[in-house]
Amino acid sequence: MASQRNETLADAEEIILSPIEEGHFEQLRELYAVTWRATYEDRLGSSVVSDMVAQLSTPSVGGMVPADGHAFGAFSQSGQLIGAVIGREVRGVAYLWGMYVLPAYQRSGVGRRLLARAITERNSARVIEVRVLKTSLGAQAFYEALGFTVVREENEEMFSGVVQTLLVMRFVRA
């Protein structure tokens, strides 16, 4: 079945891209709770996902937003956070994670715009790197369509007791 673009929501309203400040962390927790359930419950089980969501209650959103990292969000006109990406640059490599878009806004261009903004903000980085679950074929296809390639696999403990095989995907600027 060919994938279809979801033009009903994102095209019907203006999407605002801006940094996510600490005052938005509750919205970020809610975004992750919804998207993680939609993304991971079938793969990891509802009890594991519930444990993952519970870890988001700490001030730095479960450690996902480090003090030296930057978070960017896609906001609807009404101020609802509909997508997010977190990044950090280390020695010329921009590491991006926490890239999620609410299911209703997926396939609408919001993810592409959000990723482009995160990459633009890391303009000194020559290499952009993301990690996706090996079983997340949709995420892998999304990044491949934007020029990322798989460079290796690694097993990583995503959360306490949850070890998964991740694909390390990289984009190298010309």
Domain that holds residue 131: 10-172
| Tens digits of residue pLDDT in 23-64 | 888 899 999 999 999 988 988 889 888 888 888 877 667 677
- Any idea what DSSP says for residue 58? S
1 in a structural domain: no
Contacts of 65 (CB under 8 A, 6+ apart): 20, 25, 28, 71, 86, 98
pLDDT bin (cut points 50, 70, 90) of residue 3 is very low
Could you tell me which of 110, 115, 74 has the C-alpha nearest to residue 97?
A: 115
pLDDT bin (cut points 50, 70, 90) of residue 4 is very low
In this predicted structure, what is the pLDDT of residue 5?
44
Could you tell me which of 140, 115, 113, 141 has the C-alpha nearest to residue 128?
A: 115
| Helix pair angle (25-44, 46-54), 10° resolution | 160
Is the confidence at residue 8, as pLDDT, over 50?
no
Distance, in Å, from the CA atom of 13 to the CA atom of 41, rounded to the nearest integer, reads 30
Q: Which CATH number goes with the domain that contains 153?
A: 3.40.630.30
159 in a structural domain: yes
72 and 19 in contact (C-beta within 8 Å)?
A: yes
Helical residues (DSSP H) of the chain, grouped into ranges: 25-44, 46-54, 110-121, 137-145
91 in a structural domain: yes
Contacts of 100 (CB under 8 A, 6+ apart): 31, 32, 35, 36, 39, 83, 84
Q: Which residue has the tokens 């939609």?
A: 38
148 in a structural domain: yes
In this predicted structure, what is the pLDDT of residue 154?
96
87 and 122 in contact (C-beta within 8 Å)?
A: yes
Total-model pTM: 0.84
Token pair of 55 as six digits: 């870890």
Domain total for the chain? 1
Sheet of strand 162-172: strand arrangement: 16-19, 70-75, 81-90, 93-101, 127-133, 162-172, 149-159
